[in-house]
Structure 1
Amino acid sequence: MRPFPLLLAACSLALSLSACGGKKEQKPRAVPLVEATAISRTSFTDDLEAVGTALANEQVVLSAPVTERIEALNFADGGYVRQGQVVARMSVAQEQAELAAAQAQAKQAQQQLDRIQALKARGFATAASLDQQLAIANAAKASADQSRAAIADRVVRAPFSGFVSLRTISAGAIIPAGTAIATVSDISRIKLDFTVPETRLSTIREGMPIKAVSAAWPGQPFNGTIATIDPVIDPATRAVRVRAILPNPGRRLKPGMLLTVSVLSRQRQSLAVPELSVVGDGEDRFVFVLEGRTAKRVKVDTGVRQNGLVEITGGLAAGQKVVTEGVVKLTDGATVRLAGDKAAPGAGKAG
């Protein structure tokens, strides 16, 4: 046998098959299907976030003015008291006895003064004796007034309407001066104090609306307004203290609560596109604008992001169509088709 002719024939057959395989027709690339929408203007706000502490509208700690025994407590734990209502009454037996003695002295001094005035009118009393008796009568009245004031101090009243704290003392106890009897809090509305950095001071003003959220009521925001801005900036923190007023229906907010505050500092109308429309390349941002059925890559300037939208501050005009779905499949100048368009020939078939 001659192996060389057989080897040559085999190589020729392999080359022929390889040539036939190289002429195989390639599958045409499918035209990407995308969604697009015309951009329009949307309302955007610059929110300032802070953390604040809730305070009562009015709050006072009622304390014992003197060391004395408690005779009666006229409030229940967490109860409501009205302005002027007696909260506690202390023992006044000694003061009442002193008042009775002072009143008797005052009456006697007044009677003596009346007699001397009558004698003076008839010329039987001197002016010096009249002046002396007048001073005695006035001193007796002052002593009686002092006893009345001491009795009044031992009756503790609510200075305004509100809710009292839990009771920590009982009737019959002897308490020293300055001991807290009850705390009265007016929580019909809440004062909310928070701090704002010095750099954001120009973005807030009195009367601006705020929204506060409490961890106790996560799904129920509380709306209010800025009432006062502290005229002094803290030199240690470079922040200013701001006070807002919040209505408190149902008394859901309690003094001491921690709330997250959002200040709606500036509202405006700007062009907006969905977040999925914007692609990033380093520090630059781009969108794909449709010109007919051609996607053109356009650089844009962006602002804030809110509710799934991105603010467009430059690079686009209202009414332009922007690709919102299928952005990842596009390149600059790519041909696209929209829902409802006929598929390109061979787009869904193998070659």
Structure 2
Amino acid sequence: MRTRIVIFCSALVIAVAINGCSTRGAEEDSKSIEKQDEQVVFPAVKVTRANPGENLQIPGELMSYYETDIYPKVNSYIRKMNVDIGDKVHNGQVLAELEAPELTAQLAEAYAKVRSFEAQMIASKAVYRRLLVAANTKGAVSPNDMDVARSKVVADSLSLLGANAVYQAHQEMISYLRIKAPFDGIITDRKLAPGAFVGPADKSATPMYRIKQESMLRLQVAIPERYTDAIREKQPISFSVVSLPGQMFKGKINRVTHNIDRQTRSELVEIQVINLGQRLAPGMYAQVVLPVGRSGSSLVVPSSAVSTTMEKCFVIRIDNGKANWIDVKKGMESGGKTEIFGPVKDGDTVLKTANDEIPQGQPVKVTYSDF
């Protein structure tokens, strides 16, 4: 009896052990199958067409609408300077007065020549008129005398015209002794003082003043090459400056260069800004918010579908159930979507989340999801 009990207990233990091993084996097989299924099932999306757009935030620089250095046009000495740094000036205002005695002497000489040629022409005309009266009497005046008198009048007239031209030129040179503002603006720099020699003969070529127009400014912005197709004239923008936090200023694109800088790979655009209250100043940096969009539709995918490594930028397209790395270039990004360019087309299936851990040609199982 005791022997039978021992045999029964041993059989029971063996049965339980076998059953436990079978159960564990089945569970491990089941987990392996589930794990394998999880490895090959990936969310995927269809490549679609859309009109992408985004608010591009890029830095810009405010500049004077007009800005120039003031140089004298004639050799002279500064007699008086009427304005200084910070003074607001208007177009045509006299900024400085120069003196050049030799120019005054040349003007007087030119005026004397004009008066001399006027007197000669008056005398020539009088002689010619008297000869015309005398010619009414047959044989009183020879034809040669008439021709000489007529030629004298013409020569004296031309001499007077030349003298007048020289006199006007000297008058123009004298006017250069009064330095005038070329436009409304503000004096931002003064280099010289009364008594200094200035003019084209001055080898140092130091400007007398620097003047900037501040009532109107230019905001220059360099647009990256990939966004140039989205830029249009009269396009509205907004911008802010560090010195006025929390305040936004508005403007429109007035000029587009239509030229890509080779070094920066960007296109320069210009916004005209009315500087009310002179709150903005040339030289300020601005943070520009520029809404950009394509003129037509293009291909877009979720931003997570584009993977960028040190070597390439790609999406993983599913071709016949296998992963295929497709090199693309990124365009605009907005709202979790990225514009792509490359050998893909509308309706292609790509993995929603791409990474370089999925090797080329790996069989994958996908399930479609929304962007």
Compare the two structures and name the one with the higher helix fraction.
2
Where 2:168 maps in the other structure, the secondary structure is helix
The gaps in structure 2 that reach 5 residues or longer are: 1-51, 132-144, 295-303, 306-332, 338-371
Query: In 1, Cα distance between the equivalents of 2:257 and 2:163?
Result: 51
Report how far residue 176 of structure 1 moved: 4.2
Counterpart residue type for residue 205 of structure 1: R
Q: Match for residue 106 of structure 1?
A: 114
Q: Match for residue 194 of structure 2?
A: 171
Q: Match for residue 239 of structure 2?
A: 212
Deviations 1:115-172 (Å, cap 9, x if unpaired)?
Answer: 1012112326523322332232223212211210110122111111111123221112
| 1:181 pairs with 2:204 | no
Query: In 2, Cα distance between the equivalents of 1:142 and 1:230?
Result: 43
Report how far residue 221 of structure 1 moved: 2.3
**1:215-234 → structure 2 map (5 Å cutoff):** 215-234=242-261
Counterpart pick for 1:57 among 61, 65, 75: 65
Report how far residue 182 of structure 1 moved: 1.0
Query: In 2, Cα distance between the equivalents of 1:227 and 1:165?
Result: 26
Q: How many residues align structurally?
A: 232
| TM-score normalised over the length of structure 2 | 0.57
Q: Judge conservation of contact 1:64–1:179 (CA < 8 Å) in 2.
A: no
Q: Match for residue 150 of structure 2?
A: 127
Report how far residue 266 of structure 1 moved: 5.4
Where 1:219 maps in the other structure, the secondary structure is coil
Q: Judge conservation of contact 1:193–1:244 (CA < 8 Å) in 2.
A: yes
Query: In 1, Cα distance between the equivalents of 2:183 and 2:80?
Result: 20
Q: Match for residue 200 of structure 1?
A: 227
Query: In 1, Cα distance between the equivalents of 2:199 and 2:162?
Result: 30
Counterpart residue type for residue 284 of structure 2: M
Query: In 2, Cα distance between the equivalents of 1:98 and 1:202?
Result: 60
Compare the two structures and name the one with the higher strand fraction.
1
> RMSD of the alignment, in Å?
2.6
Query: In 2, Cα distance between the equivalents of 1:167 and 1:203?
Result: 43
Percent of matched pairs sharing the same residue = 25
The gaps in structure 1 that reach 5 residues or longer are: 1-43, 268-281, 284-302, 312-351
**1:1-351 → structure 2 map (5 Å cutoff):** 46-123=54-131, 125-177=148-200, 178-265=205-292, 304=334
Where 2:189 maps in the other structure, the secondary structure is coil
Q: Judge conservation of contact 2:215–2:274 (CA < 8 Å) in 1.
A: yes
Report how far residue 86 of structure 1 moved: 0.6
| TM-score normalised over the length of structure 1 | 0.60
Counterpart residue type for residue 175 of structure 2: A
Deviations 1:219-276 (Å, cap 9, x if unpaired)?
Answer: 2222111111112222443321111122212212221222221102359xxxxxxxxx
Where 1:187 maps in the other structure, the secondary structure is coil
Query: In 2, Cα distance between the equivalents of 1:122 and 1:113?
Result: 14
Query: In 1, Cα distance between the equivalents of 2:199 and 2:160?
Result: 35
Report how far residue 198 of structure 1 moved: 2.1
Query: In 2, Cα distance between the equivalents of 1:211 and 1:173?
Result: 46
Q: Judge conservation of contact 2:59–2:285 (CA < 8 Å) in 1.
A: yes
